[in-house]
């Protein structure tokens, strides 16, 4: 495993991080989830990402139990707050009330007294940013989180939050956006702003919800048991990629992966890690062997000719519109 600094901070994270968005507590049984976490640890992964909303808070609980007994100082545990976790009007968003209640709930479920990174899962247009950042400052200053991050925020939102974070003396060091060969909306505005501010990317869905694995074939129904056939696994979310044009171009990446000595999933993960602003790529798994396969993307260097060949294949189906940086439909 290779490690990188997260943004312009001293925090080191594993290039491959383990996330449990649509697996723990919902898609796979706890025994399998724990096996995947063990596989991640055995493979050198030290960075684990979750959120209070995943599986209705159950994902945090599963991760907490899976990591119990591990040396806490040797792990980087990340979680998030924003999406609804209860029926009340204050059980959502980035109000002071919800943040202060949510961090305590997350720590209880994760069985730890602090998280290394506490992230705003989306931008809350209904709460003053000053209120949100002051609450985050209290979380940090109370020792319940070491660093602050955001997820799917625009460049202007990042800049405004970063200014307040400096004033409040808290480290805002990360953004967690969707990023893959097919989804590159952060490259135009968010990444340049992040590089200027010292914010690093922890990217989710580097395999475009599994499409870049190559298992979905043009003109054929999705394989039985795949994410595209499982409503609990985000079947509606993956649907945008299941067009013959996209799937045909993905199949054209196979010779490139073979040339690089990589599997298709490894190529997809290695591709996002070529960007120096990306500190870590989040992978999920329902089976331990998926973890062992994905971690082989760490430390891989793709040469310029290979990167150019990838761009030439996927460019016609790549999404680059920066206006799509944040969307209520995105729920990682």
Angle of CA points 21, 22, 28, to nearest 5° = 125
Distance CA 138, CA 168 (A): 9
Once rounded to an integer, what is the mean pLDDT over residues 8-27? 84
The gap between the terminal CA atoms of the chain, to the nearest Å, is 24
Structure confidence at residue 30 (pLDDT): 81
Does position 212 have pLDDT exceeding 50, yes or no? yes
* 18 is an active site residue: no
Structure confidence at residue 328 (pLDDT): 46
Once rounded to an integer, what is the mean pLDDT over residues 220-230? 60
- Regarding pTM above 0.85, the answer is yes
Q: 143: helix, coil or strand?
A: coil
Higher pLDDT: 312 or 329? It is 312
Contact between 277 and 198 under an 8 Å Cβ cutoff? The reply is no
Once rounded to an integer, what is the mean pLDDT over residues 15-43? 83
Bridge partners for 161 per DSSP: none
CA distances from 202 to 6, 21, 46 (A): 8, 14, 14
- Give the pLDDT band (50/70/90) at residue 191: very high
| Length reported for the chain | 332
Burial call 67-103: b when 16+ CB within 10 Å, e when fewer: beeeeeeebbbbbbbbbebeeeeeebbbbbebbebbb
Out of 54, 82, 123, 179, pick the active-site residue.
54
pLDDT in tens, 38-94: 999 999 999 999 999 998 899 999 999 999 999 999 999 999 999 999 999 999 999
Q: 115: helix, coil or strand?
A: strand
- Give the pLDDT band (50/70/90) at residue 226: low
Find, among 246, 243, 222, 250, the residue nearest to 234 by Cα: 222
Secondary structure (H, E, C), 103-145: HHHHHHHHCCCCEEEEEECCCCCCCCHHHHHHHHHHHHHCCCE
CA max distance for the chain: 55
Structure confidence at residue 332 (pLDDT): 44
């Amino acid at each position: 495993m290779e490690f990188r600094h997260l943004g312009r901070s001293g925090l080191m994270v594993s290039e491959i991080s383990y996330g449990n968005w649509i697996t723990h507590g919902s898609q796979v049984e706890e025994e399998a989830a724990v096996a995947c976490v063990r596989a991640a640890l055995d493979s050198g992964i030290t960075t684990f990402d979750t959120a209070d909303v995943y599986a209705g808070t159950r994902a945090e609980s599963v991760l907490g139990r899976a990591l119990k007994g591990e040396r806490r100082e040797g792990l980087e545990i990340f979680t998030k707050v924003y999406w609804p976790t209860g029926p009340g009007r204050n059980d959502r968003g980035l109000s002071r009330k919800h943040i202060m209640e949510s961090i305590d709930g997350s720590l209880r479920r994760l069985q730890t007294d602090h998280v290394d990174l506490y992230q705003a899962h989306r931008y809350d247009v209904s709460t003053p940013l000053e209120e949100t950042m002051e609450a985050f400052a209290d979380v940090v200053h109370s020792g319940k989180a070491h660093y602050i991050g955001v997820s799917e925020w625009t460049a202007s939102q990042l800049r405004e939050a970063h200014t307040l974070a400096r004033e409040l003396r808290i480290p805002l060091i990360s953004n967690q956006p969707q990023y893959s060969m097919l989804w590159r909306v952060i490259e135009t505005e968010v990444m340049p702003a992040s590089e200027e501010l010292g914010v690093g990317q922890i990217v989710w869905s580097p395999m475009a919800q599994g499409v870049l694995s190559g298992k979905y074939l043009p003109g054929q129904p999705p394989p039985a048991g795949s994410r595209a056939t499982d409503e609990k696994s985000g079947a509606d979310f993956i649907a945008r990629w299941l067009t013959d044009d996209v799937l045909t171009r993905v199949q054209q990446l196979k010779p490139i992966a073979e040339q690089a000595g990589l599997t298709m999933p490894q190529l997809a993960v290695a591709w996002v890690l070529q960007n120096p602003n990306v500190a870590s790529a989040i992978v999920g798994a329902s089976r331990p062997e998926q973890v062992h396969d994905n971690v082989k993307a760490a430390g891989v260097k793709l040469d310029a000719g290979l990167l150019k060949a990838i761009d030439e294949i996927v460019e016609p189906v790549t999404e680059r519109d920066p206006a799509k940086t944040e969307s209520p439909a995105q729920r990682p």
